[in-house]
Structure 1
């Protein structure tokens, strides 16, 4: 057994539970994204809104979240991820439940989603990956993949759960029940088991289990903001999130336009979550073994295939299923790729803050993607133009990753 293999074994023997616990915490940050699709049509019927107006909530939440990603990242670096994560889980539960009180006035909708916007950054990927990065070095790619699998877990469960609750209890109860049910599972797990190196009491730290200065290795904030790699990651991440989150949020309505029922469309949409889980773990495995920027570029480019399938014969169930698989696979890889590249290019010294900048770009892209997709449908009565735009932007994003070069 070589040294690297032994190091991997030690990391997982000591901290195997941490990425798993982080996955549950991270799932809270995507609750509002992955569950919204089944609510779009009921909200349209209840209030006479357009799809763009319904999707405005995602835009508000993500723009507000983007503004707070960097400050929260700095707090994670200073206070440790545990306290921030616990606050985030509670805030999101309350904020998401409050969406069920919508009155039909746009101002009320904006205010409710503003509460979501303030809540989400406290449970963003920065929080969970910061703890994992402090414990894993040799197998960081797969550890990140497990931690970030909270998103595919949510993508699998939330659309079906929300659709079932809407069908049986109405959309208002569905908002509250979804939040309460999931928080009841997540909060105790985070409280009992989520601790990074920075959260461990100083007197209980076993110096033999932590590599000296690991958290101090890396570039300064000033160096990070001067790095071309940062801006390439910002561009690639924002464009990919803009297009793919736009498709994700509208995936149920897209399939319904081809004749699927809401439950059938939600069932196919749940495949995205399963595929995302596979994509995330597979990507983590690849990132630990191959050129990370090339792995990321190839995965981004694969998204084009899903668009072609929907644009050509989108009414075929087989095409819808394969498209869902591809969308899930690429979305599962996205944050994993960005987190891994950030840790390698910037180090851990200011990981929370610099990865917070990257997450802010991802969040801004995700903010406007659903709004743009909804507005495209409202204007053209078709999602075709948005799918074409997606092909252009994911291609450019993949090429941007290819130009990163090796970390110094």
Structure 2
């Protein structure tokens, strides 16, 4: 059977998207979305102020600082190795949250460890691994892969909420680790592969997108405009996510209602990323048809 170029990409690359979706979705991105579930229960048990328990900005700040390091390591050692190491270190970090002594500085130290190691299983290495398999449908592929956080949130947030209110907040962190070790890590080990000809294939069979050296990018107005836009957007979303559940609790929302609203937010992110991914690809009809064709195979 003869496949079109778009169909060939999806035929070969769909396992990589699925593995990247599960690996990325069960790591730090999900941690950032769901960590606000812990503030009220920890405050009630430990008697700390909300300010003392607001450790998410530490994670987000360090993740941003060390993202370039993750990119450098990915270029040197390969996306698959880096994501596997990142998932293991992330799991160690959240287990540390579960067993750490009830003292603020221990909590901050573990949060710093998660923030430093989080980029290893975040966007840079995951997208680098997927990018080698997709050129004609790269936007769609990236949108699907980065929707992993929303997919995991649909099952993870109710599960973590149940664990917290049934067995305590420490059990909730163990669920974080379990999702990463049971879903994300096996998926990456079994299905996440970089394209074997990503750097050496001829242009006719595996075209390479043009790029700019990082020194040139830093001198570009376009780069800094894009950086500022993404920074402001991420800062607003990060601040909102970190306090979503406590805000809802202060407004007398029941636990079940707050959890449902968190899931609704995750679904909205999912839809936004899918639409954004299709938009980057330019809504090519051939790409859309390839999705439906492949699902029937």
TM-score when normalising by structure 1: 0.64
1:321 equivalent in structure 2: none
Matching residue within 105, 108, 113 for 1:107: 105
1 CA distance for matches of 2:142 and 2:182? 24
1:211 equivalent in structure 2: 206
- Decide which moves more: 98-107 or 132-141: 98-107
1:276 equivalent in structure 2: 269
Map 1:101-250 → 2, pairs under 5 A = 101-197=99-195, 200=196, 210-211=205-206, 214=208, 217-250=210-243
After superposition, the Cα gap between the structure-2 partners of 1:51 and 1:220, relative to the gap in structure 1 and judged at 3 Å, is: same
Deviations 1:142-181 (A, max 9, x none): 1001110112123333322211001111111221133124
Q: Confirm or deny: 8 A CA contact 1:100 1:175 kept in the other structure.
A: yes
2 CA distance for matches of 1:79 and 1:97? 26
1:87 equivalent in structure 2: 85
2 CA distance for matches of 1:88 and 1:210? 32
1:38 equivalent in structure 2: 37
How many residues are matched?
279
Matching residue within 249, 252, 261 for 2:254: 261
Task: After TM superposition, give the deviation of residue 130 of structure 1 in Å.
Answer: 0.7
Q: Higher relative CO (CA 8 A, sep ≥ 6), structure 1 or 2?
A: 2
1 CA distance for matches of 2:201 and 2:229? 40
State the Cα RMSD in Å.
Answer: 2.2
1:51 equivalent in structure 2: 50
Task: After TM superposition, give the deviation of residue 29 of structure 1 in Å.
Answer: 2.2
Task: After TM superposition, give the deviation of residue 210 of structure 1 in Å.
Answer: 4.9
Deviations 1:124-147 (A, max 9, x none): 100111111121111111100111
2 CA distance for matches of 1:228 and 1:123? 29
2 CA distance for matches of 1:267 and 1:113? 26
Q: Confirm or deny: 8 A CA contact 1:98 1:176 kept in the other structure.
A: no
2 CA distance for matches of 1:22 and 1:165? 26
Task: After TM superposition, give the deviation of residue 220 of structure 1 in Å.
Answer: 1.0
2 CA distance for matches of 1:221 and 1:206? 24
2:292 equivalent in structure 1: none
Q: Confirm or deny: 8 A CA contact 1:96 1:179 kept in the other structure.
A: yes
After superposition, the Cα gap between the structure-2 partners of 1:52 and 1:209, relative to the gap in structure 1 and judged at 3 Å, is: farther
2 CA distance for matches of 1:68 and 1:240? 19
Q: Confirm or deny: 8 A CA contact 1:33 1:249 kept in the other structure.
A: yes
2 CA distance for matches of 1:120 and 1:234? 20
TM-score when normalising by structure 2: 0.87
2 CA distance for matches of 1:251 and 1:32? 13
After superposition, the Cα gap between the structure-2 partners of 1:253 and 1:223, relative to the gap in structure 1 and judged at 3 Å, is: same
Q: Confirm or deny: 8 A CA contact 1:61 1:118 kept in the other structure.
A: yes
Matching residue within 279, 284, 287 for 1:286: 279
**Is 2:24 aligned against 1:29?**
no
Q: Confirm or deny: 8 A CA contact 1:32 1:58 kept in the other structure.
A: no
Q: Confirm or deny: 8 A CA contact 2:21 2:144 kept in the other structure.
A: yes
2 CA distance for matches of 1:181 and 1:25? 10
